Amino acid sequence: MVGKGGFVERNLKYIFPLPAIIFVILLMIFPVCYTLVISFTDWALTSGRPMRFAGFGSYLSVLKDPRFHASVWRTFAFTFGAVAAETVLGTIIALILNREFIGKGPLKFILLLPLVVTPVAIGIVFNLFYDPTIGFLNFILNGLGLPQSGWVTEAKTVLPSLMLVDVWQWTPMIALIVLAGLSGLSSEPFESAMVDGANGIQIFFRVTLPMIMPTVLTAIVLRAVDALKTYDIIYAMTRGGPGYSSETLNILAYKLSFEYFSLGQSSAALVFLFLIVLLFSLGVMRLRRQFEQ
């Protein structure tokens, strides 16, 4: 017979990762699989009947809904606009922080502050900034003699206003990732470029940028995947309004579930969102491998 001690020692390689495996199964794999199962049903809590298999009925219903197509477009528009601005600004900030100057430490600390603030609190504060009557931003525009804006209360400005909030919060993350990539670069290519007479702009575009591009693309993947799924900031600030003008795919799925109680259609919308995120991630990572070759 093998004692308890012997059994534990022989199975340590299974016992140690077991809590992590259970965590992944319960909080990641199971919800995804359960959502996929529900998406093939016509489950609606208001119908008064049990869940039943409906094939691709929920998917077809979602695809025929004009709100779904509009929400997909807004999701891509929000993600592209926010991530593009964050990538450019984050790279510029990283290049600045990669140099030695007085106050670099406190500046890094200030840069981290937006990352530790809860999204709901950010939404409340920015709603005060955006308020059409007492908002700080309209006060500045009025002082400069410029026309005031409705910000999140007007359909034409709500998405750019939400992008601005996202850029304020998540640009520091891009900056920190790119800064980590810059700090790991060898100095030899830069010294060779300077010896050959290259100026600062040429060094950046022909040496620095190609070398940090894999890091930049990794940052883009991480940020874009999160931006595609953005829910908290948008719901806290606009709840998808005014009208449906800021209703992204995640907000639509929430409304289908908890306002219209159409769980089958909501799950189908979330499956589409999952596929969008998956295909985008695979595409960018494939592009990243090309830069590494």
- The sign one gets for the Cα dihedral 277, 278, 283, 286 is positive
Angle, helices 119-130/155-183, rounded to nearest 10 degrees: 130
Q: Which of 197, 193, 234, 232 is nearest to 210 (CA)?
A: 193
Please check the confidence at residue 99 and state whether its pLDDT lies above 50: yes
Q: How far apart are CA 180 and CA 214, in angstroms?
A: 12
Helix, coil or strand: residue 88: helix
Q: How far apart are CA 19 and CA 151, in angstroms?
A: 46
Q: Which of 250, 271, 273, 252 is nearest to 58 (CA)?
A: 271
User: Would you state the pLDDT for residue 292?
Assistant: 66
Asked, as a colleague might, if the bond just before 147 is cis with ω within 30 of 0, I would say no
User: Would you state the pLDDT for residue 32?
Assistant: 87
The model carries a pTM of 0.88
List pLDDT tens digits, range 40-67: 998 888 877 788 898 899 999 999 999 9
Q: In the numeric block, which tokens belong to residue 172?
A: 């520091």
Please check the confidence at residue 10 and state whether its pLDDT lies above 80: no
Please check the confidence at residue 183 and state whether its pLDDT lies above 50: yes
Please check the confidence at residue 82 and state whether its pLDDT lies above 50: yes
- The sign one gets for the Cα dihedral 277, 54, 37, 58 is positive
User: Would you state the pLDDT for residue 5?
Assistant: 54
User: Which domains can be identified in the chain, with CATH numbers?
Assistant: 59-292 (1.10.3720.10)
Task: Summarize the chain as % helix, strand, coil (round to 5).
Answer: 75, 0, 25
Lowest-pLDDT range of 2-16, 79-93, 132-146:
2-16
Q: What mean pLDDT do residues 89-105 have?
A: 89
List pLDDT tens digits, range 200-220: 888 888 888 889 998 998 899
Mean pLDDT of the chain: 88
